[in-house]
Amino acid sequence: MLISFGFVTPMTAGIVLVIALVIFGPGKLPELGKALGKGIKEFKSASEGDEKKEEVKVDKVDKVEK
């Protein structure tokens, strides 16, 4: 039984990983993975933190105007 996650099947993922290994080499792949993970983490924190930062800015402006 073949399990697929959206359009990416395990066979497709394997082919992409092999191509990435050939292009970047085994030494560069962990660095690329770390950079990608860090970028995703920063994006999530920035998208979740924008609402909180805006609320804090509004509170500070209200206090200054009083």
Per the domain annotation, does 61 fall within a domain? yes
Within-domain flag for 38: yes
CATH number of the domain enclosing 34: 1.20.5
Name the domain count of the chain: 1
CA 15 to chain centroid, in Å, comes to: 22
pLDDT above 70 for 26 = yes
- Asked whether residue 61 carries a pLDDT value surpassing 70, the answer given is no
Percent of the chain's residues with pLDDT above 90: 27
Q: Range of 16's domain?
A: 10-65
pTM here is 0.48
- More confident site: 57 or 13: 13
Q: Is residue 1 part of a domain?
A: no
- Sequential DSSP letters for 36-63: HHHHHHHHHHHHHHHHHHHHHHHHHHHH
